Chains A and B, each alone.
Chain A
Amino acid sequence: MEYFLQQLINGLTLGAIYGLIAIGYTMVYGIIGMINFAHGEIYMIGAFVSMISFLVLGAAGITWVPLAVAVVLVVAMLFTAVYGWTIERIAYRPLRGSTRLAPLISAIGMSIFLQNYVQLVQGARVKALPPVISDVIVLAQRADGFKVSISYLQIMIIVLTTALMIGFTQIILRTPLGRAQRACEQDMKMASLLGVDVDRTISLTFVMGAALAGVAGVMVTMYYGVIDFYIGFLAGIKAFTAAVLGGIGSLPGAMLGGLTIGLIEAFWSAYFSVEYKDVAAFAILVLVLIFRPTGLLGRPEIEKV
């Protein structure tokens, strides 16, 4: 029971990170119907930017943890947002209205480019950062000494994710930008006829998704402490799995999917085998697409001729 509780906490933390990345996929897919293959790389860049910012802050002597974390979060969101905007502007916007395949190929090319760019400028070796927050709260203790603990970091990740989720849901539901996004999602041509600036709306969607991936990058840097240029690929596919699982285009669905994938991965590693945890995640993707292609919270897609 204690072991189970510990895995539940770990799984929720992992799931929160996947969920944040998944939101980027789901928003972009919802609005222009393409898989932003380079999204995982944005998350990787967010992790690198946050690591660099922690080092700079450390060198500057800012050691009060809440301030440092807040600064790093803002910095990472800013830089990943710029990356998101630029990628959309360079690689996707010229291809809008082209064949369905072209943006996907362009996105794969962009993903390969970003991976190798980071490898070139930052080196291929694994980077390790000492933990920033390491205090834990012990929740329960078993007779044989096994402790169930939740770290302050895990609490921070879960609270921050919840806050961001609420905030973004409110943006989508209540602001003019969110209204424009929902309009573009339904019918881009009609929205532009009614005065919605479609290009700007799509750009902002990419910016929002990228900023959330940046936050996920900060979290993973603090949580695992080791990053390299290749972490974006797997995390990207898993987050996409989460988006599909939750029902693509649905914000709460992305979060739900992320949590499910995180929990499955945590429990699978704990009770079966660590080696095959990725297989478990992919198997879920395949099963969901076969038996419930619309995902948990998605609406069925109408076939148009």
Chain B
Amino acid sequence: MAGAGTPPSDFKAALGEAAAAGGIALLLTLPLVGMRTLETSGGLVIHPHFADVALTVLLVFLGRLGLVLIEAGRGGAVLAAAAAMVAAGWLLPFPTEALRGIALAGGLVVALRAGLALRSRHSTLTQAERDRRMDRVGARLQDASRLIGPVAVLFALVLPFMPFANRGVIDLGCLLLTYIMLGWGLNIVVGLAGLLDLGYVAFYAVGAYAYALMATTFGLGFWVCLPLAGIFASLYGLMLGFPVLRLRGDYFAIVTLAFAEIVRIVLLNWTAVTNGPVGIAAIPRPSFFGIADFTNSPAEGHLAFHQLFGLTFAPVHRIIFLYYVILALALVVNFFTLRIRRLPLGRAWEALREDDIACTALGINRTNIKLAAFAIAGMFGGFAGAFFATRQGFISPESFTFIESAIILAVVVLGGMGSQVGVVIAALLVVGLPEAFRDLAQYRMLAFGVGMVLIMLWRPRGLLAHRDPTILLHLRKSARQQQAESEARG
């Protein structure tokens, strides 16, 4: 605590540190940002953008200076400067919107830290403090999830009939529920069994292609194909699992990634079956449990949905129906996960996650248990894939790239592995937020990457980490009680 009277040498040191940060920023941005290559008829030419570089360097310099000065006890001055910075970021013209975003976000962060420093006399919380705070929130949410869960499900059930629910909202709901379902499915492998699967999208792809091919070649309906797609994806999981499950940790992760890439490359090149990069179009839409179709003019001898229920025809009926299908599928996955955690299989997964050597010593068959996790999670991925195919009506290998796996994994890990509520919150964050800001499409994935890094830095175990064993030998206590006790102890 240097107090108010900071000696000038401190200021000089702060300037030096800020200059170093500015220098690094200069080196980082000079070639890539400052010299944009443009394709012209005469070959590539360089288009200078040095103003962007200068501004970036200035922003980094100011930000670093602010942070160092906060540490030195000049919180008040920095707060005022940062507030001015935010105002400037809001009002002044910037060459690009990205720079304006950096100015605004950076100014806000520095202001926030300065404010914190003024209040608590130190600017950042230590990792332990942050963890304790978030653990408390997590435990409270875990407690509350008994209440939140039914409320959320109820909300999801009535959503299509809300006054604000237009087609776009229901479509977004379908998308979110698809990712929630995939997240819950992957949670079985990553959160419960503790296996880092970087290639979950392969199951999704197998399910989608299984449904699309069966439906377009053999004319099978959605409700026949759905279980078949699950079985195919599950079989793929078993096939992949046998060689791979002996590996562990990072090797396992990389091999699952390699397998997912193999699947994608095969889909891309096996033109005779998969139609290659063109993809499969005109995938049949689901019927109302095989009883009625969602169409205005049903075929001879068939009933249309609106006739069955005496409604007037509206295209939104099918979307609402799809919404309920994915809601039901997702809830099945959730219910399954919650129940299986109490069965010997689920307990074996959790034990394996904590210490697989001890498990082997206790006579648990490591490979079979992991294989079960893989096959079950794969089946759910296959269901989701079949749903995706029928909702889109068109699939191509483009939809099953690594980035898709990364998004699903981000949903699981950022939410806090093993936490069912965490998956929902993370899906809202990771998928919902970017969808809401569609206008900024080009910054979407950029922000996604930054967000992944920041959440990991801020809370390495995920937002709502929940690693308590589901079953305790003795008295069951609520998470909050345990929290209070552990705080009293430590």
Point out residues on A near B: beta carbons under 8 Å.
29, 33-35, 45, 48-49, 51-53, 55-56, 59, 75, 78-79, 82-83, 85-86, 90-91, 94-95, 98-106, 108-118, 120-123, 125, 127-130, 233, 237, 240-241, 244, 273, 275-276, 278-279, 282-283, 285-286, 289-290, 293, 303, 305
In Å, the complex CA distance between A43 and B197 comes to: 25
Beta-carbon contact of A35 and B258 below 8 Å: no
Q: Which of B268, B357, B413, B450 contacts A303, CB < 8 Å?
A: B357
Contact B453 A113 (CB under 8 A): yes
The reply to whether B453 and A244 form a contact with Cβ atoms under 8 Å apart is no
* Chain B residues positioned under 8 Å from A240 (CB to CB): 254
Q: Given contacts A109-B456, A127-B39, is CB(A55)–CB(B46) below 8 Å?
A: yes
Q: With A53-B31, A122-B32 in contact, is A113–B258 under 8 Å at CB? A: no
Q: Which residue of A lies closest to B407 (CB)?
A: A112
- Partner of B250 from the list A35, A110, A113, A120 (CB cut-off 8 Å) is A35
Question: Would you call B446 and A48 a contact (CB within 8 A)?
Answer: no
Chain B residues near A90 (CB-CB < 8 A): 453
Interface string of B427-447 (1 = CB under 8 A from A): 000000000000000110110
Q: Give complex CA distance A289, B248 in Å.
A: 10
A-B CB proximity, top 7 nearest: A109-B452, A113-B449, A112-B449, A102-B460, A282-B258, A275-B269, A109-B453
- Shortest distance between the CB of B401 and any CB in chain A (Å): 9
Query: How distant is the Cα of A241 from the Cα of B213 in the complex, in angstroms?
Result: 33
Contacting pair B251 A59 (CB below 8 A): no
Pair B244/A35 contact, Cβ less than 8 Å: no
A22 to chain B, nearest CB (A): 13
Given contacts A100-B249, A233-B402, contact A110 B449 (CB under 8 A): yes
Cα–Cα distance between A276 and B251 once the two chains are bound (Å):
23
Query: From residue 232 to 251 of chain B, which have CB atoms closer than 8 A to chain A?
Result: 243-244, 246-247, 249-251
CB within 8 Å: A-B pair count: 174
The reply to whether A112 and B254 contact each other, CB–CB distance below 8 Å, is no
Of the candidates A53, A275, A290, the one whose C-beta lies within 8 Å of that of B246 is A290
SS class of chain A's interface: helix, strand, loop or mixed? helix
Assess A59 versus B255: contact at CB under 8 Å? Given A51-B37, A278-B261. Answer: no
- B27:A109 contact, CB within 8 angstroms: no
Residues A105 and B452 in contact, CB atoms below 8 Å apart = yes
- Given A79-B31, A275-B265: A305 and B456 interface contact (C-beta under 8 Å): no
Q: Give the complex CA separation of A35 and B247 in angstroms.
A: 15
- Beyond A55-B46, A109-B410, A289-B251, 10 additional contacts (C-beta under 8 Å) are A86-B28, A95-B456, A101-B196, A104-B253, A108-B452, A112-B403, A112-B452, A233-B402, A276-B265, A282-B262
B457 within 8 A of A: yes
> In the bound complex, what is the Cα–Cα distance between A69 and B358 (angstroms)?
56
**B residues near A53, Cβ cutoff 8 Å:** 31
Contact partner of A79 (CB less than 8 A), chosen from B27, B196, B247, is B27
**Could you tell me if A282 and B452 are in contact, using CB atoms closer than 8 angstroms?**
no
Among A86, A120, A129, A233, the residue within 8 A (CB) of B442 is A120
Partner of B261, one of A102, A106, A282: A282
Shortest C-beta distance, A60 to chain B (Å), equals 11
